[in-house]
Chain A
Amino acid sequence: MSSRNVLQGEGVTLYFGGLAALKGVDFHVDEGEIVGLIGPNGSGKSSLFNLISGLMRPTHGRITFLGHDLARFRPHQIAHLGVGRTFQIVRPFAELTTLQNVTASALYGQRLASVVEAEHRARDTLRFVGLVDHHDQPVRDLPLAFKKRLEIARALATGPKLLLLDEVFAGLNPVEIDGAIELIFRIRDELDITVFMIEHVMKAAMQTCQRIMVLGEGKKIAEGLPQDIARDAAVLAAYLGPAYA
């Protein structure tokens, strides 16, 4: 539409044995966008992120990032191309402190030679996400809202052009969700990072995303502006059952 295409998928299909987690999904994310990915449990959202970050390979189909066919890259190379991600279930390096987590990520994500430099950048990132006061805390002591922010900080520290967020609002209270929404806007506006986010909390997705894509049982069932998605019959059927459509 308006600007450059960052991420594109064509006919993306993923089988787990006989189970099709994704069936011929086409999608695209453009530069500077915040795109939402919603859908019921088990509809294949996280699986799609695993394919983009290279942790899994599509059975069929093709994903390109800034023109690179991702089939030719391993996960760490995809990170170096500029894809950062968070995990739905936070998985910080449990033995390390907040700062060490982010330093490690900057060190390898930005291919720095100096730990001094990596730590310097990690502090900037922690300041950006509002965790700098908790830098020396062992991560297992952090409350969930901070763990989610740490997850975002680690992804940001790799210096991504595209950030994949997997349910960063889940488990947060309304105040924390507002804070997270604000953070996502700042990531796009101040850091110029394109955002592709999976969300379960519909309302929050509506507030944050300028475009929303809906998966149902591995297929793309709708795509459009948030207000249109909220009224889409197929989406309502997928979420609430056919009777409501």
Chain B
Amino acid sequence: MPMMISASLNIAMRGRGQQLRSAPLGMVAATVLLALLPLTHPSEYLLSFLFIAFMYASLASSWNIVGGFAGYLSFGHAAFFGIGGYATGLALLHSGWSPFITAIPAALLAGLFAALVGYPVLRLRGPYFALVTLILTMVVRLVVMNLSWTKAAQGFWLPFPPFDNWTSRAVFYEVMLAILVLTLLVVRWVQYSKLGIGLIMIRNDEEAAQTFGVDATFLKVTAFVLSAALAGLVGGIFAYYRTYVHPNTMFDAYISVTTVLMALFGGRHIWFGPTLGAITLSVLSELLTLSIGTEIARVVFGLLLVAVVVTMPDGILGFTSRSARAHDGSWLKFLRREKWKS
């Protein structure tokens, strides 16, 4: 297993400089092509499928800032997703403000919440951290369930976006694509920034890292806030997409767990790993459902996932790059930018 970690790092840090340098170009090309997709007038079904796939790709990528880079496996991503969803939903309900705008302050709210809970929660490690983040989501859900101003257990409906059905799907598709691109840019920046190097130090040995001047608490909370804000943004758009906001759909442990599995599946140590995992798994799951029916598909899908996570602890990227050799042991080779902000 350590060998595979190193292999995936080869990509991230030293080897495959070529591949890495071309990745952003590939990203620009992919973004442009995907953004033009609605011009071919695809079905609502395809647009909806891609919306959800991009949503999970963004969630898995933002989760990875804490779960992958810092090595703190959070099972509470849905808490931030839900807070974003409720904030935008309530803003639309009470003030009529469009979620396409209020999703931004809602994301900041999710980030603020992460800053508050981050200090105590990020003191925990390993299974304790995982468990507490899971419980955190349940607690937030319970609180929302019992407050009248969040419409308690009834949830609430939102007005439909002012478009016809197809246009609405196309608009949501474009917005989620933009959010995914934004997420990837942030995560990629984090990976190659001073912050990212600090998070790798924390993942390797938090105590030793501190003796080299790493303010572990500050870096972890910063990562947690970034991660949460991006999830909140996604949650805000999702609430509008669903037009129905309910504690069970917004604070759904299934979302947290799926996010973690997708990131693990793709590869946690590389910025584009979780996106790869999310897209692959979304397509796979959809194909299985279409071919053998929902129920059997779930079982097959679950088993497959377990098999992959057990046999490839570093995800498909870690696995395929095991032969990656060329490196010069430096961080600089693939980092073109000279100046780094902390």
Contacts and interface: CB of A to CB of B under 8 A. Distances in A.
Contacts of A85: 211
B197 A115 contact: yes
B286 interface: no
Listed residue (A54, A55, A138, A155) with the most chain B CB atoms within 10 angstroms of its CB: A138
Contacts of B6: 95, 138
Contacts of A202: none
Given A75-B210, A76-B214, A111-B213, A119 B330 contact: yes
Interface string A109-120: 111011110010
A104 B330 contact: no
A93 B5 CA distance: 12
Given A91-B205, A93-B204, A95-B200, A100 B331 contact: yes
B198 A53 contact: no
A194 interface: no
B331 A119 contact: yes
A87 B209 CA distance: 12
Contact of B210 (A74, A91, A103): A74
A95 B14 contact: no
Contacts of B341: 113
Contacts of B338: 114, 116
Contacts of A80: 213
B331 A103 contact: yes
B342 A109 contact: no
B120 interface: no
A137 B2 contact: no
A136 B329 contact: yes
Interface in A107-131: 107-111, 113-116, 119
Contacts of A113: 194, 339-342
A95 B328 contact: no
Given A91-B205, A95-B9, A116-B338, A136 B330 contact: yes
Given A76-B215, A91-B205, A113-B194, A100 B330 contact: yes
Contacts of B207: 55, 75
A96 B9 contact: yes
Interface string B319-334: 0000000011111100
A194 to B, nearest CB: 17
- B214, B216, B327, B329 — which one has the most chain A CB atoms within 10 A of its CB? B329
Given A108-B213, A135-B329, A96 B342 contact: no
B184 interface: no
A93 B201 contact: yes
A73 to B, nearest CB: 11
B201 to A, nearest CB: 5
Interface string B193-223: 0100110110111011111111110000000
Nearest to B217: A74
B253 to A, nearest CB: 30
Contact of A107 (B197, B203, B205): B197
A75 B206 CA distance: 11
Contacts of A45: none
A7 interface: no
A79 B329 CA distance: 25
Interface in A62-108: 74-76, 78-80, 84-85, 87, 91, 93-100, 103-105, 107-108
A158 interface: yes
A154 interface: yes
Given A96-B204, A114-B338, A76 B332 contact: no
A85 B328 CA distance: 27
B11 to A, nearest CB: 12
Which of B9, B198, B208 has the most chain A CB within a 10 Å cutoff? B208
B122 interface: no
Given A76-B213, A107-B194, A108-B198, A91 B335 contact: no
Nearest to A93: B204
Interface string B2-41: 1001100100011000000000000000000000000000
A140 interface: yes
A229 B216 CA distance: 41
A138 B332 CA distance: 16
30 contacts: A55-B210, A55-B211, A74-B210, A76-B211, A76-B216, A87-B208, A91-B208, A93-B205, A94-B204, A95-B6, A95-B9, A97-B14, A98-B329, A99-B329, A105-B213, A107-B197, A108-B198, A108-B201, A108-B212, A108-B213, A108-B214, A109-B213, A113-B342, A114-B339, A115-B194, A115-B197, A115-B340, A119-B332, A136-B329, A154-B212
Interface of A: 53-55, 74-76, 78-80, 84-85, 87, 91, 93-100, 103-105, 107-111, 113-116, 119, 135-138, 140, 154-155, 157-158
Given A103-B330, A103-B331, A111-B213, 7 more contacts: A85-B211, A91-B205, A99-B330, A108-B209, A115-B194, A136-B327, A138-B6
